[in-house]
Structure 1
């Protein structure tokens, strides 16, 4: 029995999915963010923004045509200071809806606060030339992050066990069913 038979007649020969996303304002979800480094050791924060697929009708010319594609954002440490520019980090946090003076403990806390949050960003196309060949890639600058115009409809459920330290105080063995 055959699982399937190949048929290449309906494949898209243009490979549009490998072209940069057209310039514009897009509503996205922060899908992933974490610190990383180049092979030479230059540190940066890597972010993946997925263009929202729930806004095809509201934004037919942007999200409607590019939904579900990913835009990669890199936030680089400054060469002069060896640190991230606080304004870069603050643009992202503000766009994700966090109020002023929100503490961020570490990079895990950063990721937990941001993943799944909707944001609006300006996607641009950066052209670079190397050895006579021009390459186009998408670029999103931190100062283009804005709060979403389309908040997510379902509120995130509160963790019913948050703050529970796992104490068994007050539980007697006779109260247990096993």
Structure 2
């Protein structure tokens, strides 16, 4: 076995800024201490100009401590955050969901644009999502298996093999 040290391959803090991403999945879960939240890992798109292409951003929606009636309709999560993420992901306006889990399932594979900032918590600095917005690049070209898997629920079919210009109808 042999290898060379390459500092560019080391984990480092994701720079602040905007990123075009694909929602890998969304699911309700809890912290080790039992605090409920929605876990939303985002894959940084490789098919558009992004730093850290193929990396991940971990976005979380936390249950409200004092939910409003609108929040309670979203199982206690912030209704404003749910609505903002729904709009950013292009979910149809007026679409109803029987549960937050159904909503989470509908998010998988959707492209979005996020703004990342740095926040300190318990002495550690982490990259956090401050804004979710509609993508500027709705046509996703999946170049890797992870992105293809995230897009499978969207009717995306990866192109297999190779083809020539004469093989396409345009």
| Partner SS state of residue 140, structure 1 | strand
What corresponds to 2:2 in structure 1?
Answer: 7
Are the structure 2 counterparts of residues 118 and 41 from structure 1 closer, same or farther at C-alpha, using a change threshold of 3 Å? same
- Aligned partners of 1:139, 1:150: CA distance in 2, in Å? 22
Q: Deviations over 1:127-154 (max 9, x none)?
A: 23x4xxx42111013xx11110001257
Separation in structure 2 between the aligned mates of residue 71 and residue 21 of structure 1, nearest angstrom: 8
Judging changes above 3 Å, is the alpha-carbon distance between structure 1 residues 68 and 126 closer, same or farther for their aligned structure 2 residues? same
Partner in structure 1 of residue 165 of structure 2: none
Distance apart, 1:40 and its partner CA: 2.2
1:8-54 Cα offsets, whole Å, 9 max, x none, are 22x324653x2121000110000021001112221110100010000
Task: Return the alpha-carbon distance in structure 2 between the equivalents of residues 153 and 72 of structure 1.
Answer: 20
Structure 2's unaligned 5+ residue stretches are 142-150, 157-170
Asked if 1:101 is matched to 2:94, the reply is yes
Tell me what 1:51 maps to. Answer: 44
Q: What residue in structure 2 maps to residue 163 of structure 1?
A: none
Give the Cα separation in 2 of the matches to 1:157 and 1:43: 31
Match of 2:138 in 1: 151
CA distance in structure 1 between the aligned counterparts of 2:98 and 2:88, rounded to whole angstroms: 19
CA distance in 1, matches of 2:81, 2:103: 13
Q: How many residues align?
A: 138
Please give the alpha-carbon distance, in whole angstroms, between the structure 2 residues aligned to 1:112 and 1:47: 11
Measure, in 2, the Cα distance between the counterparts of 1:153 and 1:68: 13
Deviation, 1:103, is: 0.9
How do 1:11-22 and structure 2 match up within 5 A? 11-13=5-7, 15-16=9-10, 18-22=11-15
What's the counterpart of residue 77 of structure 1? Answer: 63
SS in 2 for 1:73: strand
| Residue 107 of structure 1: how far off its partner (Å) | 3.6
Larger radius of gyration between Structure 1 and Structure 2: 1
Q: How does 1:64-143 map to 2 (within 5 A)?
A: 65-81=51-67, 83-128=76-121, 130=122, 134-141=123-130
RMSD: 2.2
